[in-house]
Amino acid sequence: MHFLVVEDTADVAEAIIERLERGGHACDRAASLADAMHFAAASTYDLVILDINLPDGSGLDFLKWLRGRRNAVPVLVLTARLAVDDKIGALDFGADDYMVKPFDLGELEARVRAIVRRRSGEAGARLSAGNLEFDMVTRLATVDGEPLSLTPREQLLLEIFLANKGRVLEKEELIMRLFGMDADAGPNAIELYVGRLRRKLSGAGMEIKTLRGLGYQARACEPGPALP
């Protein structure tokens, strides 16, 4: 998935991003309120991890700005403040969860999974298409119960297609979701990863169609025989 980490303390942001990227997610980092607004206006995110104390304002102002634009992206708030009123205020402004610094990265990752699971409506954290299943927690993909050998980026790409079955996904959106805004990746990289994933999904109940000039579309299909 594609996350925005809004955190001005470099070592904290780097630790969060490293942990999430190890899980196969793409992350952008904003170090200020202005940067966060710029990123959120330019791209679509699956979750925002938001520090309240920013150098040019409060993270709560960013949260109010998001909700004022009818942007329902899930938000996990981070803060060094301990007051109950702060927690209530963040939740009232539309935050999905709240963690007090210092925090354990393992717990942060678990909270992120729980938020995404709740928002996606996938109680079991599973996405499927016919005989193809993907577990969002373990990152395991199977066809007819047999595991597929996927790289972390292929796992992320499969997750994006399964979560957006029937929707046309432009190459630019896939670049953002797979590599983040700072990555030096182009359409050829997307074509390469889609091609690899297609080959590994041989015999699965989902196909990835190329719509010339538009992008890609994942569709449910009757599973065919696997390639030898």
Over residues 70-93, the mean pLDDT reads: 76
Please state, rounded to an integer, the average pLDDT across all residues of the chain.
Answer: 85
User: How much is the average pLDDT of 153-166?
Assistant: 87
Q: Which residue has the higher pLDDT, 27 or 225?
A: 27
DSSP secondary structure string for all residues of 121-153: T-TT-EEEETTEEEETTT--EEETTEEP---HH
Q: What is the pLDDT of residue 136?
A: 75
Q: How is 157-197 classified by DSSP, letter by letter?
A: HHHHHHHTTT-EE-HHHHHHHHH-TT----HHHHHHHHHHH
Residue 123 reports pLDDT greater than 50: no
Percentage of residues in the chain with pLDDT exceeding 90?
39
Is residue 161 within 8 Å of 132, Cβ to Cβ? no
> Taking residues 149-175, what's their average pLDDT?
87
pLDDT category of residue 179 using cuts at 50, 70 and 90: confident
| Alpha-carbon gap, residue 139 to 74, rounded angstroms | 21
Please tell me which residue, 227 or 217, carries the higher pLDDT value. 217
- Rounded to whole angstroms, the Cα distance separating 24 from 121 reads 21
Quick one: pLDDT at residue 83?
Answer: 57
- Is the confidence at residue 142, as pLDDT, over 80? yes
**pLDDT for position 228:** 44
3-state DSSP assignment of residue 221: coil
* pLDDT, tens only, 1-52: 889 999 999 999 999 999 998 888 889 999 999 999 999 998 889 899 999 8
pLDDT at 132: 93
